[in-house]
Each structure stands twice: as C-alpha cells, then as structure tokens.
Structure 1
C-alpha cells in the first residue's frame, strides 16, 4: 500500500508529540509512587471513571483492533469467539463472581491469593505459570505495532520490534499502575472516538453517503455464513467454537492484569461495576473493527495483504483524520503493552524475587518490567503469528489456574497437594500438546480421536479431576496437620 509522503511526515510528527505527552504523564504519575502498593495497585484508590477505562484498555489492543478483524474478514464472525466475544464475557463474569471476593482479600497479586488459600508452594507454582503466559500476549502487541510501522514508514520489522519495546517499557517503568492508568484514560478516549469516526466514514462510503444504507448493504450482500456468530452446522464446529470461546471467557479470570485493576479499585462496589461496565463496552466497541472488516470485503473484494483496519483508514479518511485514527490505533496497542508488561513483572517482584533474597520491591518491580519486556521481545522475534500467541496466552492460565482459583473462592480450600496437582496436570497437558502440535485433546490416545475435544475443555476438566481426587486422597493428611 503506497503512503503519501506528506501523510508520513504528518503521522511521524504526530506520533512523536503523542509519545512526548505519554512520557510527561508517566513522569507526573511517578510522583505518586512512594512504595510497592502505589506502583502495583495505584494505592487502591482508583474511582470508577478510571477503573473501567483501564480495564477496557488492558485488552482492547492489537487482538481486537487488528488480529480479530483480519480473522473475521477471512472466516466471518465465528472467528471472533476468542476476542472480543470471549474476552468481553470474561469481564462480565469477573464482575459477577470474582471481583468482589478478590477485592475483599486486599491482595497485590494473584499468587498472593494462592499463598493464602493453599500455601507457599502453590504461590510459587502459580507464579511460574502466570509469568510466561504473558510473553505471547505482549509479543503479539509488539509484532502488530511493528508491522504498522513497517506499513506506514517502511521500518523493517526487526527494528520496529525493538523500537516498540523500548517505548512501551519506558513509561511503564516510571509510574507503574498510576502511569498505566492515566495513560490508559487518554489512550482509550482516542481509540473509541477514532473507531466511531472510521465506522461512520466506511459505512457512508458503502452506502453511497448514508450510514444506514451502508449497514443495510452489509447485511444483504454479505454471505449469511459470514454473519454467523455461533456455528451450528456440525457438532464438531460447535464444540470447537465453544472451546475457543471458553479460552477467552475463562482463561484470563486468574490473570494478573485483570485482578490488578480489581485490587486497585477504591471499593468493592467500584471493582464490580468497573468489570461489568468494561465488559459491556468491550463487546459494543469490539464489534466495530469486525464490521469494518466485513465492509472491507465489499469495498475491496480482491485479496489485500495489508491489515484491513489501517488499510480502510488510509483509503477513506482525510489525511489529517487518518493520522488521528492511526494515533488512536497506536494508543490501543500501547495501552495493552504497558498493562501486559506490568502484570507479570508484578508477580516476579512480589512472589518470586523475595525467594531469592531481594526485598527492595519498588526497585525490583522496575527490574522485573525490563526482564518481562526482554523475554517478550525475544518471543516476538521468533515469528509466531499474532493470533496463535494470543490464544496460547489465554489458554495457559485457563488450564493451569482456573480450577484452583474458583475452588479457593467458592469451596473450602483443600490442602496444597490438591491445588498443585490441578496446576501441574493442566499445565502439563498444555505443554505436551504445545510441543507435539496437537490441536485437539489427546488425539493420539485411543478413544479420544473421534471426540475432537478442544484442549481448553479437556485439560481444564482434567485439572478439576486432579484437584478433587488428590484433595480427597490426602484429606486425612490435612486433618492430621490441623
């Protein structure tokens, strides 16, 4: 896609000014940080207005704006099972069932929950699962933004990845959660306004001047199969869709990024309503890139190699407006990058480094940010596709942590062996399938080939069986210890 030179200069200058503003906000936020609680959970003082915006910004990034849109353009709305449908449902479930009890525990990290409920061994094991689960998610954001830099400026992806990592890591290190929250508020405002403008322009173009006519044309001329959200043509397709949806809806409930914002809310009520409001807004605004993608099939019937959302912005927006939208797109991805980096860094600093004798938590949090960014950048250079990285990121926490999290919240916690067994079985099954390249649950085991059971469901059920069986078998040991 050819880019007008004047647009390049305007976009470059605007991006530099935008980044300067973000760093100024990060510097101001740094003044509020006096201890680890300020750095990690913003002093537990976020009002609803900031809490729901930072929740929305945490996930509304490359997956929603770029990856899901491109997947929907190729395969229809059923490809959005993971994001935004699953991710939006996750926020709603969190608001209804998880945010309240987790906020009342006054925690800093998710492994803190496992330590209180199951002991230090469960804390360490949950940390080992949580931290690497974010590397793929962060790498997907790095990759998406580096590809945009390549598209508009011709910057090779190998250099773009490093540039994106440096920028995103920089202001995350300065102010921690305060920096992330304040920049998220600015970034999400730009994103939502930019999306609304692009949708209006695209559908006016599709409807020859009328947005309503454009929407009507989309529904009448698009293949009905492309508009199907839940495939019901075969049992295998339905089960497969449910498996992917479950990854999005349940996979990040034990996620540090989600819970960190719950812990940062100023009250239990704020934590609950922030999740619910963010979930509704995620589903509503998450549909907009998907509609743009489907409209792109009618406006550009021929195959297009470029990512559809930036391509549509370039094609139909006035250069000045296109720059605003691209800055909004940059905002969406950066808002996810800073949140995703801070989350595993928090776990490293609070739950892993102290075991190594490092108790300076404020300094160790900043060192942890650097480590997380470094390993995520290395994964981005490995060349995995963005969608694969996103799916694996959600899947690992689902199969490893979902069962002991809910068991700890809504039943009498069993001994550490039960929680550890659930984590080891779920994560172990994921690792076997990942390295062998199996897409369904135990496809090489007799009796499972014909089931075509999704790994997300099979491994999670296996973790639940391990939790309750080991808990039952070792119940006598726990009573003796008590």
Structure 2
C-alpha cells in the first residue's frame, strides 16, 4: 500500500499545532515565574497553584481520556464474552474521581504538598518515604509506553507508515513540549488535544453506523447476528471478579501523581474538588463514542468491507478495533479525522505520565536524597533530565509491545495493593509509623504474587476456597486484588498499634527502634520536611487550613 498522504498531512498539522501550543505555554510559564518570584521547578510541577478551574477540568479530563481509555473501551465492547457488561473502566474512572474529590483532595491540597509522595516523606523520613517512588514511577513509565505503542499501531494501520517511525516521532514531540514548559505546557496542550478527541470521535461515529455493512446496533445489543451480542454476559462465578475489578478501578486509580499534579496546582480546595467532579462527569460521557465504535464492530459483516474475513476477533486483533473501524468502515477523509483524535488521546496521557515521573524524581529523590543542597536551577535540570530519561525508556518499551502489557498490568495491581492502603494510612491514620508501612507493603506484595494471575499465565501458589481451573490455570473465586489490598491495610494498622504499645510499655527496648519512631531521632536520620512556607495553607484556603503531617508518636515518645 502507498502512504496515505492526506492522513500524513493531518498528522503533521496536528503535531505542529501541539508543539506550537507547548511553546506558547512555556513562555507563559516563564512569565509566571518572573511575576511570582517562586521556584522554577515548583512552577513547572504545580504551576504556582493558580490554574483556573476551566483549564483544570480540561487537563484532568484529557489525562483520563487517553489512548488506553478509547481503544480499551471499544475493545472490551467488541470482544465476545465481555461486551458492555465488562466495560468497567469508564464507570470506575468516573466514580474514582468523585471519591477522590470527596475524601482525598482536601488533605492533599490544604497541606500544599507538591507531589503525592510528600506526605510519606514528611511522616516517615526521606528514605522510607521514597520507597514508593519505584512503584509509582513504574506505573507512569509503562502507562506511557502502552499508549505510545497503541498510537504507533494505529498510525501504521491508517496512514501506512512505519510503526517505529510513528512511535519515535510522537514520543519526541511529547517529550519536547513537556520539557519546554512543565505543567502549563502539558495543561494547555491538553485543551487542544481534548478538542481534537471530542470533535474527531463525534464526527466518526455517525459515518461508521451508517455504513451498509453495519446492522442496526440496537438489534445486535441482545441478538446474535455476526457474533455474540455486545451487551456481553456476566456468569455467576465471575461476579466476585467483576466486583474486584470495579473496586480496583475506583480505588486503585486514586494514588497517581498525574491526578494529584492537577489537584495541587489549583487555587483552593473547593476549586480542586469542583475540577475533579466535573472531569468525572465529562470522562463518563466521553465513553459513549468508543462504546458505539465497539458496537459497530460487533454489528459489521466484515465480508462486505475491505477488511474481509476472517473477522478482527478471529484474527486476534480486538485491540486494534478502533483503527480497523476507522480504516475499513468510515470514508477515508473521516478516518483521517479519527487518527487525529486518537493521536491527541495518546499524547494527552503520555505527557502527563512523563511529567508525573519527572516530578517525583526531582522532588522526592533528587532534592531529598541525592542532592539536598541543590539549587532551583539544578532542580529544574534534574526535572528535565528525568522527563527525557522516562520518555526515552517509554519509547523503547513501546517498540517492544510483547513485554509492555505484562509490566503495565502489574504496575496497576501494585498501585492498588501496595500504594493505596499505605496512602490511606499516611493521610487518615494518626498513629501510622514506619514499621506498619513496611509490613503492610510486604504483606500485600506476598499475597498478590502467591495468588497467581491467569491473565498472564502465572500459577497460583495459594489456592483460596472456591477456586476453579480453566485450561490448567487457576482462577480465584476470591476478589484477589481487593483481598490483598485489605490484608495490606490491616497489617499496617495492626503493626502500628502493636509497636506503639510494645515500645511504650518497655516490652521492646528502645534500642530496637531502628527507625527512631518512638525515640529521639538522630540529626542524620530525621525526616526531611519541607519548609513551613510549603505546607501552610494560603488565605484562600483558610477554611481548610491544617497543620502539616508530623509524627505524633515520635513527639510523644520524647
């Protein structure tokens, strides 16, 4: 096939528009730096905490509605045996944003943290708090890799250019504007990208539904025509897994730096809550176009299209169903518009992941552990270096798609099972200490790994009541992810109470308190806390002013 010149022109124009927006936003960021006189690196991370509500809604929504959201939603609806019944992510994402707005926004924004890991380091010290840097960053790295891989495949299908070239060029553009202006470049490009997403998908769906090869999707919702109905099915034995997945998507999507980066950049707690709730509504609404694309694929007689038989499902190409529908069911000029929408969706997720990982490294590793005396200029270069490094690694992983899915899968699991329970403890459990943190982390990790995972063909070392086997692989009837998360949370709380009582009563000698949780800390091991100016709420948050997190246990022991 020859290169689709029209599609290539649209991509060039789109990439040029995004890069131009990023350059303009970087200049705006520099003006804000000069006007506020604040830290350059902090302006790059949280935008001087003056992000408007409208911009916040756009960037928060664009972060969620990415390439994985659009492609994954259509894929689940199209896949036989799954369908609408298992299309849980749009519901889970919307509810997650609501839960975060109601319970997590206030303690994070009112204390004026810069990153999600700040409360850990303030409570447990710089070293123990940085323990969560790796799982958090791995999540961002594999998230970026997965969406870049999806974009490369999509462009190669519709524009018919080399997949490697598509991935590398997309990654370079994303890295470039993220480096230029930090959060403001990411946020303003998100506005352009979200407009492309909405317009592109809204235009494409009607053309796909009107194609003569597509039967009425209302009929195929409940009736088998070309394959199983797209309403899907939920077997009785799968109900616990369905509940497990839903809780995982609701709670496991909260402790992500990309989300809190937007929340911490707002002007007040109330504004942050409004942004989160508004983006929840829009995120849910934007699931409609990819759901309809999946339904169209179910309702298509592929023998009447240029794709032909066997069908995408029979070829194992469910994950490519969006570009396949655009290429073979929509007119060529409409498919070109669709590719712009998909490119926008992917880049809006990738830039968020890169800035998130770079912020965590700069704030919680480089300036806390590697170079505490680093100047603001040096911190800014550390941020840029981290973004470049993570972007380069994500690009390499995106070109090795066989390994990306497995790593991305586990990073999501670990976020829910390891980070979420400890995140709850550090924010809401006043008696939390380092011993509970370590035991909770190890407990959740142990039981998740030994529980197995049939999706990636990992055997189960522990078989819980009600398990069943399919093709020699163990499926746990127990809601495994949630079970491990609750075990981790319970272990953390129990060990915190136990160590407090044992050290306070003298049952355990003070010399055993190697974390210095209940004895006067040495100057070398004392937790590194931000300066008061970084943790005292401003006047516009006066009603939400709270003291910074401190270790009450250590103070009482002294």
The TM-score, its normalising length taken from structure 2, stands at 0.77
Greater mean deviation of Cα atoms: 252-261 or 371-380: 371-380
User: Post-superposition shift, 1:331?
Assistant: 0.4
Structure 1 residues 469 and 440 mapped into 2: Cα distance closer, same or farther (>3 Å)?
A: farther
Does the Cα contact within 8 Å between 2:154 and 2:339 map onto a contact in 1? no
Which of the numbers 348, 357, 362 marks the counterpart of 1:349?
362
The within-5 A match list for 1:249-264 is 249-264=250-265
Match of 1:403 in 2: 421
Contact 2:222 2:231 in 1 (8 A): no
Tell me the secondary structure at the aligned position of residue 264 of structure 1. coil
- Aligned-partner Cα distance in 2 for 1:347–1:103: 17
Offset at residue 336 of structure 1 (A): 0.6
User: Are the structure 2 counterparts of residues 425 and 164 from structure 1 closer, same or farther at C-alpha, using a change threshold of 3 Å?
Assistant: farther
1:253 aligned counterpart, secondary structure: coil
Aligned to 1:111: 117
Q: 77, 83, 86: which is aligned to 1:76?
A: 83
Q: Hey, which of these two has a bigger chunk of helix by percent?
A: 1
Match in the other structure for 1:9: 5
Q: Secondary structure at the match of 2:112?
A: coil
Q: 1:58-137 residue pairs with structure 2 within 5 A? A: 58-74=63-79, 75-81=82-88, 83-137=89-143
User: How many Å separate the matches in 2 of 1:50 and 1:362?
Assistant: 24
Larger radius of gyration: 2
Corresponding residue SS for 1:110:
coil
Contact 1:139-1:379 within 8 A present in 2 as well:
yes
Unaligned runs of 5+ in 2: 34-39, 303-308, 468-475, 504-517, 519-552
Between 39-48 and 119-128, report the one with greater CA deviation.
119-128
Say whether the 8 Å CA contact 2:142–2:407 is kept in structure 1: yes
Matches within 5 A, 1:49-448: 49-74=54-79, 75-81=82-88, 83-205=89-211, 214=216, 216-219=218-221, 221=223, 226-228=229-231, 231=234, 233-234=235-236, 236-301=237-302, 302=309, 303-304=311-312, 307-354=320-367, 355-357=369-371, 359=374, 360-384=378-402, 388=406, 390-430=408-448, 443-445=460-462, 447-448=464-465
User: Which stretch of the first structure deviates more once superposed, 217-226 or 154-163?
Assistant: 217-226
Work out the CA distance in 1 between the residues paired with 2:19 and 2:26.
10
| Larger displacement relative to structure 2 (83-92 or 169-178) | 83-92
Aligned pairs, number: 470
Instruction: Tell me which of 18, 40, 44 is aligned to 1:39.
Output: 44
Contact in 1 for aligned 2:77/2:232 (Cα 8 Å): no
Cα displacement (A) at 1:195: 1.4
| Matching residue within 16, 19, 22 for 1:23 | 19
Contact residue 23 and residue 181 of structure 2 kept, 8 A: yes
Deviation at 1:431, TM superposition (A): 5.4
| More off after superposition, 382-391 vs 152-161 | 382-391
Distance 2:324 2:62 in 1: 23
| Higher deviation after alignment, 176-185 or 394-403 | 394-403
Deviation at 1:38, TM superposition (A): 1.3
Deviations 1:386-415 (A, max 9, x none): 765554332221111111222233332411
SS in 2 for 1:265: coil
Give the aligned partner of residue 474 of structure 1.
499
Q: Residue deviations 1:206-252, cap 9 Å, x none?
A: 799xxxx9453343546897455782x31x30111122222221112
Residues 285-333 of structure 1: CA deviation (Å, up to 9, x unaligned): 1132022111211123551256222222234444333322211111011
Q: Distance in 2 between matches of 1:388 and 1:62?
A: 18
Where 1:384 maps in the other structure, the secondary structure is: helix
Secondary structure in structure 2 of the residue aligned to 1:100: helix
TM-score by length of 1: 0.89
**C-alpha displacement of 1:158:** 3.8
Matches of 1:214 and 1:39, distance apart in 2: 49
Q: Distance in 2 between matches of 1:429 and 1:237?
A: 21
Say if 1:60 and 1:332, in contact at 8 Å, map to a contact too. yes
Pairwise CA distance, 1:447: 4.5
- Secondary structure of 1:92 counterpart: helix
Relative to structure 1, is the Cα distance of residues 245 and 203 closer, same or farther in structure 2, using a 3 angstrom cutoff?
same
Distance 1:215 1:446 in 2: 41
**Change beyond 3 A, Cα 1:17–1:59:** same
Give the Å deviation of 1:470. Answer: 1.1
Take 2:233 and 2:485, find their aligned partners in 1: how far apart are those partners? 22
Distance in 1 separating the partners of 2:223 and 2:162: 38
2:486 maps to which residue?
461
Tell me the distance in 1 between the aligned counterparts of 2:484 and 2:180. 39
Distance 2:415 2:150 in 1: 23
